[in-house]
Amino acid sequence: MTADIPPRAASSAAPWCSLVTVTHNSARVLEHFWAAYAELEAIEWIVVDNASTDDTADVARELGARVIVLDDNNGFSYANNVGYRAASADFIGFLNPDVRPD
């Protein structure tokens, strides 16, 4: 996986990319689309959970995400901004839970 990572970023401790995913009752979708990527190196995956009532947060943690659980569903844009503020990489991508990262 590190072959596609810029050399400077691959050698640093900080991730070269932060991926932000906003969820709401998305546990099964995360398992289907993200399970193969649980061990991504040099990528920080942040899941912002919009007050799910299923086990989305637990599934995301099991898949390796850093999870931020919101008590209220304040909308997609609000949750993306929460994820953006939590990201630590220079490059930040926003991916829906039903997208397979590549």
pTM: 0.84
What SS3 string covers the chain?
CHHHCCHHHHHCCCCCEEEEEEECCCHHHHHHHHHHHCCCCCEEEEEEEECCCCCHHHHHHHCCCEEEEECCCCCHHHHHHHHHHHCCCCEEEECCCCCCCC
Which has more confidence, 59 or 101?
59
- The predicted-structure confidence for 43-96, as pLDDT tens digits, reads as follows 899 999 999 999 999 999 999 999 999 999 999 999 999 999 999 999 999 999
Residue 12 predicted with pLDDT over 70: no
CA distance 58 to 55: 5
| Location of structure tokens 């947060």 | 57
